[in-house]
Amino acid sequence: MRTTLSIIKADIGSIGGHIKPSRQLLERTREFVINSGKGLIDDIYVSHTGDDIALLFSHQKGTGNEDVHKLAWDAFLEGTKVAKEQGLYGAGQDLLKDAFSGNVKGMGPAVAEMEIEERPNEPFLFFAADKTDPGAYNLPLYLAFSDPMFCPGLMLSPKMGKGFTFHIMDVEYTEGDRIIELNTPEDIYDIASLLRDNEKFVIESIYSRENGEIAVSVSTSRLHNIAGKYTGKDDPVSLVRVQGNFPATGEVLSPYSIGHYVAGFMRGSHIGPLMPVKINSPVSYFDGPPIVTCHAFCVHNCKFTEPADTFDHPFWDYVRDKISRKALELREQGFSGAAMLPYSELEYGGIVERLERLDKLFKVR
């Protein structure tokens, strides 16, 4: 059976700052997609990660389908009405265009989709991150799909020995999707050379070289490239198929124990460690730390099982303690050097204006 998995995610308002959506906002959005998605969508799952609401759909319409995208867009508009009624912070924050034009890509919401031939058992993971950007998935995906230190399946499973093809996007290029395709294992130094720059080069998708099937899809939008100014971070979502020709669930999860430093955190302008948290978690300290949730599902005949919450386990409490320490250690140096993003990435216009004003006051001796 050809099944399409679509995640469409947006921040349309939150309570108490950029923390989490209200219950009423989530409920209205959920009701809207359930009622309006009849006959179009086979199954729906609605969740939030920090202040972002993610709609996970299964359907048979293929990727980039106008009706599916319009359903999500209209649901976010409906939700924004509630956000305005309740006076939520940042109502409609990620809806950057006034009118829907065929596809929500480039309009503010983050999108990750894949069309698959369902295996007899089809386990997959749905990641959602808040207070960071799409490059946050670069390192965990690189390690899970190319490094036997994290993915012993690359050595142990005959189905993965041929490696994977990485599609990497230059997200600074705005004229279109600028993509390079590179293969593991032979191109891993080239892949690493690109992926070290998380703000410019982002994994868009990964394919099995065993059978050409899609394994990974990541949302690659950069909001500040769409809006031309700061409108919140590009809080990214991703889909990862697991088992069989793909890494095992635990192999995909294992790099999240690192808590690697990513862009985002307070005002989208800092560096902080990525913390794996339970589903429907809010953010807190310093509008962070950057968080990631992971739902594990099986999909069968286009219907989802209930999700398993992969980061809800005592092991991750220990990891979260370590990551809290990493967050505090970097925060001790405030605005200095590596704690903050470089000038080119500073999301708030204020400092740019300030530095332009100061620039005029310099005198050359």
Q: Site residues (CB under 6 A) for ligand 13P?
A: 11, 18, 50-51, 90, 93, 130-131, 232-233, 235, 248, 250, 266-268, 287
Residue nearest to ligand 13P (CB): 232
Nearer to ligand 13P, 68 or 171 (CB): 171
Q: Which is nearer to ligand 13P, 42 or 52 (CB)?
A: 52
Stretch of 70-78, 155-163, 226-234, 293-301 contacting Mg ion, by CB under 5 A = 226-234
Q: Does 133 bind Mg ion (CB under 5 A)?
A: no
Q: Which helix (H) or strand (E) holds 46?
A: strand 41-49
230 is catalytic: yes
Residue 81 tokens read as: 């009405």
Tell me which of Mg ion, ligand 13P, none is bound by residue 204, counting a contact when its beta carbon lies within the kind-specific cut-off of 5 to 8 angstroms: none
Footprint of Mg ion on 236-255 (CB under 5 A): none
Of the residues 90, 148, 152, 185, which one makes contact with Mg ion according to CB under 5 A: 90
Nearest to 142 by CA among 251, 30, 264: 251
User: Would you state the torsion angle of the CA atoms of residues 266, 268, 273, 276, taken in this order, to the nearest 10 degrees?
Assistant: 90
Q: How far is the CB of 50 from Mg ion (least distance, A)?
A: 5
* Minimum CB distance to Mg ion smaller for 41 or for 136: 136
Considering the candidates 74, 89, 162, 230, report the single residue annotated as catalytic. Answer: 230
Q: Are 157 and 330 in contact (CB under 8 A)?
A: no
- Is 233 marked active-site? yes
Rounded (5°) CA angle 34-40-42: 70
Q: Are 185 and 160 in contact (CB under 8 A)?
A: no
Q: Which of 61, 233, 234, 256 is catalytic?
A: 233
Residue 272 interacts with, from ligand 13P, Mg ion, none (CB under 5-8 Å by kind): none
User: Closer to ligand 13P at the Cβ: 65 or 157?
Assistant: 157
Structure letter (DSSP) for residue 306? P
Q: With CB under 5 A as the rule, give the number of residues binding Mg ion.
A: 9
DSSP state of 318: H
Question: Least Å distance between CB 293 and ligand 13P?
Answer: 14
Would you give the distance in Å from CA 120 to the centre of its chain?
27
Residues 6+ apart with CB under 8 A from 259: 273, 274, 275, 319, 322, 323, 326
Concerning whether 326 is annotated as a catalytic residue, the answer is no
Cβ nearer to ligand 13P, comparing 4 with 14: 14
Angle between helices 23-36 and 66-85 (to 10 degrees): 150
Who contacts 61 (Cβ-Cβ below 8 Å, separation ≥6)? 4, 40, 67, 68
Q: Does 11 bind Mg ion (CB under 5 A)?
A: yes
Q: Which is nearer to Mg ion, 109 or 244 (CB)?
A: 109
3-state secondary structure of 11: coil
User: Residue 22 class from Cβ within 10 Å (0-12 exposed, 13-18 middle, 19+ buried)?
Assistant: middle
**Binding region for Mg ion (CB under 5 A) out of 15-23, 57-65, 105-113, 297-305:** 15-23
Mapped onto helix, strand or coil, the DSSP state of residue 202 is strand
Residue 94 interacts with Mg ion (CB under 5 A): yes or no: no
Q: Which of 144, 131, 93 is nearest to 236 (CA)?
A: 131
- Please identify which of the residues 11, 130, 234, 235 carries the catalytic annotation: 11
Amino acid at the residue 35: N
Tell me how far, at minimum, the Cβ of 301 lies from Mg ion, in Å. 33
Tell me the catalytic residues. 11, 230, 233
Residues that bind Mg ion in the complex, under the rule CB under 5 A = 11, 18, 50-52, 90, 130, 232, 235
